[in-house]
Structure 1
Amino acid sequence: MKQFRPFHFPPLHQVRAASGTLSGTEAPLQEDWDSALAAGYRQGQQDGFDAGFEAARAEGFARGQAEGLERGLEEGRAQALAHLDQIGKPVDAALKALKKLKSDFKAAQRKEVVDLVGKIARQVIRAELALQPTQLLALVDEALAAMPPARDTVEVLMNPEELKRVTELDPKRAKKWNLLADPSLDAGEIRVKAGDHEVDAGCQGRLAACMEQVRDAVAGTEGDAA
Structure 2
Amino acid sequence: MIDLYFAPTPNGLKARLFMEEAQLPHRLMPVALGKGEQFKPDFLAISPNNKIPAIVDHEPAGGGEPITLFESGAIMLYLAEKTGRLIPQDIHGRAEVLQWLFWQMAGLGPMAGQIGHFNVYAPEKVPYAIDRYTRETHRLYGVLDQRLADRTFIAGDFSIADIACYPWIVPHEAHGQNLNDFPNLKRWFDTIATRPATLRTYDGVENVYAPRQQAISEEERRVLFGQGARP
- Taking structure 2 as the reference length, the TM-score comes to 0.20
User: For the pair shown, which has the larger CA radius of gyration, 1 or 2?
Assistant: 1
Higher relative contact order (CA 8 A, sep 6+): 2
- Taking structure 1 as the reference length, the TM-score comes to 0.20
